[in-house]
Amino acid sequence: MSATAENTFDIVILGGGSGGYACALRAAELGLSVALVEKGKLGGTCLHMGCIPTKALLHAAEVADSAREGGQFGVKTTFESVDMSGVNAYKDGVVARLYKGLQGLVKSKNIEFVEGEGHLLAKNVVEVAGRQLVGKNVVLATGSYAKSLPGLDIAGKIMTSDQALFLDHVPPRVVVLGGGVIGVEFASVFKSFGSEVTIIEALPRLVAAEDEAISKQLERSFRKRKINFQTGVKFAGATQSGDVVQVSLESGENIEADLLLVAVGRGPVTAGLGYEEAGVTIDRGFVLANERCQTNVEGIFAVGDIVPGLQLAHRGFAQGIFVAEQIGGLNPPVIDEMGIPRVTYCEPEIASVGYTEAQAREKFGEIETYDYNLGGNGKSQILATQGFIKLVRQKDGPVVGVHMIGARIGEQVGEAQLIYNWEALPSDVAQLIHAHPTQNEALGEAHLALAGKPLHAHG
């Protein structure tokens, strides 16, 4: 085989995170030749620094809460302490098993895994350590990094999720800068582990991308859990002396902490990688791509966190699969970004799909909403959780938004996304039978009520 043939592929993928590896696996299934370039660990942010390790921490947090709250259920338990070396061993074990599985999966397919830092040398060439990989198609999937604020250096006790995932102790006092998904998840973990937590959020509410009613309920629940938060306040600066961080707000208030977690969003990893030189349009660091994940340069696609939109692993998977099928000639249907399910795994959990009430009103004009309180749901009462399921429908039309909050409610997003994506009417769902007593039943009950035949619904 000539050197050129060895280095020529149907697809060269730059970045082996959720978007990149999903594209590689699907392309290989379709019989395409693939090179997958990764400078760090196969699996990317989600597996090593994101979804999986944080959800392991949140599970350990749930166990700590259960130990504290046993008495509520007549079980004599006491919470002693959190041993971070034990928590980390459990978390790292989960990641390691999944990592091994993923490596085996990629190895078992016809995928050339190229370790090293790559950059785009020309529109169809990715260079890695002097080796030039030529792709009939190139997929950019270099992901994202944790941002900070101007003048706020990440060092010592000022950290992002990247460092906070590997703490060897529970900090007594934590300030979380940012009340978005990552901020509230970490705030929830720290509180359950025993820290005193304060969230600082510049926007008027926590989880501001969610329906307003969800933010209100989360704030209520966090108040009950004694998680402090301030919304609509601006961060002014932070200084460190010894092991203590002084966090100052524009209001003049100072908060002393043992850890400042900076959770102000994630920026795209695109600088210095040759994208612009190859002619790819970049906007504020993000790669612009159309609904078929094509950039403005023919043969160059982009997937995952580098493309503006929801920064979620399953969006990356879906886009990666989409691009492989597109290149494979299958002409897949475009992805409806509103139909991508969103889960925030704090306690209580939040899950949603589709339009918020405000967005639906703007888009569709006349709408109807219905809130089903989990107070009427047997399983939620058994779990001693509070919350609700809110439905948004077009007037006399399909359900266009499902918004849920409550312990463990994330698992209900599967049915919610089918309802949204299949454009179900409330009456379509109302005739389906939901098992009793499950939290899933609450979704059924909400649709029964919206279809005009409420069962266990008050008011």
Ligand X SMILES: Cc1cc2nc3c(=O)[nH]c(=O)nc-3n(C[C@H](O)[C@H](O)[C@H](O)COP(=O)(O)OP(=O)(O)OC[C@H]3O[C@@H](n4cnc5c(N)ncnc54)[C@H](O)[C@@H]3O)c2cc1C
How near is the Cβ of 54 to ligand X at its closest, in Å? 4
With CB under 6 A as the contact rule, the residue among 50, 171, 178, 179 that binds ligand X is 50
d(CA 20, CA 323): 10
Catalytic positions = 436
In the numeric block, which tokens belong to residue 145?
Answer: 């990094």
With CB under 6 A as the contact rule, the residue among 137, 144, 195, 215 that binds ligand X is 144
Judged by CB, which is closer to ligand X: 39, or 136? Answer: 39
For 181-219, give one letter per residue: b (16+ CB within 10 A) or e: bbbbbbbbbbbbbebbbbbbbbeebbbeebbebbbebbb
Cis peptide before 308 (omega within 30 of 0): no
- Return the residues of window 366-405 that contact ligand X according to CB under 6 A: none
Judged by CB, which is closer to ligand X: 248, or 421? Answer: 421
- Decide: is 417 part of the binding site for ligand X (CB under 6 A): no
Between the alpha carbon of residue 270 and those of residues 209, 267, 273, 345, the distances in Å are 25, 9, 6, 29
- Decide: is 163 part of the binding site for ligand X (CB under 6 A): no
With CB under 6 A as the contact rule, the residue among 11, 13, 18, 82 that binds ligand X is 18
**Helix, strand, coil content of the chain in percent (nearest 5):** 35, 25, 40
In the numeric block, which tokens belong to residue 263?
Answer: 């959770």
- Decide: is 352 part of the binding site for ligand X (CB under 6 A): no
Instruction: Report how many residues bind ligand X under the rule CB under 6 A.
Output: 37
How near is the Cβ of 18 to ligand X at its closest, in Å? 4
With CB under 6 A as the contact rule, the residue among 29, 30, 51, 359 that binds ligand X is 51
Helix (H) or strand (E) holding 349: strand 349-354
Residue found by looking up tokens 């897949």 in the block? 332
- Return the residues of window 240-259 that contact ligand X according to CB under 6 A: none
- Decide: is 444 part of the binding site for ligand X (CB under 6 A): no
247 within 8 A of 149, measured Cβ to Cβ = no
Judged by CB, which is closer to ligand X: 264, or 449? Answer: 264
With CB under 6 A as the contact rule, the residue among 11, 17, 191, 235 that binds ligand X is 17
- Decide: is 269 part of the binding site for ligand X (CB under 6 A): yes
With CB under 6 A as the contact rule, the residue among 25, 32, 45, 448 that binds ligand X is 45
- Decide: is 287 part of the binding site for ligand X (CB under 6 A): no
Point out which span in 68-76, 93-101, 240-248, 309-317 binds ligand X (CB under 6 A).
309-317
Point out which span in 135-143, 209-217, 405-413, 439-447 binds ligand X (CB under 6 A).
135-143
How would you classify residue 299: left for phi > 0, otherwise alpha for psi between -120 and 50, otherwise beta? left
Cis peptide before 437 (omega within 30 of 0): yes
With CB under 6 A as the contact rule, the residue among 10, 65, 219, 305 that binds ligand X is 305
- Decide: is 184 part of the binding site for ligand X (CB under 6 A): no
325 within 8 A of 30, measured Cβ to Cβ = yes
Q: Which of 303, 302, 320, 300 is nearest to 122 (CA)?
A: 300
With CB under 6 A as the contact rule, the residue among 135, 178, 316, 406 that binds ligand X is 316
d(CA 321, CA 19): 8
Judged by CB, which is closer to ligand X: 17, or 387? Answer: 17
Judged by CB, which is closer to ligand X: 16, or 179? Answer: 16
- Decide: is 27 part of the binding site for ligand X (CB under 6 A): no
With CB under 6 A as the contact rule, the residue among 61, 312, 404, 409 that binds ligand X is 312
Judged by CB, which is closer to ligand X: 64, or 273? Answer: 273
With CB under 6 A as the contact rule, the residue among 7, 11, 13, 20 that binds ligand X is 20
- Decide: is 120 part of the binding site for ligand X (CB under 6 A): no
- Decide: is 448 part of the binding site for ligand X (CB under 6 A): no
- Decide: is 445 part of the binding site for ligand X (CB under 6 A): no
324 within 8 A of 149, measured Cβ to Cβ = no
Per-residue x/- mask for ligand X, residues 71 to 110, rule CB under 6 A? ----------------------------------------
How near is the Cβ of 101 to ligand X at its closest, in Å? 16
Asked whether the CA dihedral 458, 364, 361, 305 is positive or negative, the reply is positive
Q: Which of 159, 192, 165 is nearest to 88 (CA)?
A: 165
With CB under 6 A as the contact rule, the residue among 7, 54, 88, 412 that binds ligand X is 54
With CB under 6 A as the contact rule, the residue among 7, 137, 161, 188 that binds ligand X is 161
d(CA 445, CA 318): 31
Q: Number of C-alpha atoms within 13 angstroms, CB side, residue 65?
A: 19
Three-state helix/strand/coil letters over 215-275: HHHHHHHHHHCCCEEEECCCEEEEEEECCEEEEEECCCCEEEECEEEECCCEEECCCCCCC
Give residues in contact with ligand X (CB under 6 A).
14-20, 37-40, 44-46, 49-51, 54-55, 117-119, 141-144, 161, 182, 269, 273, 304-305, 311-314, 316
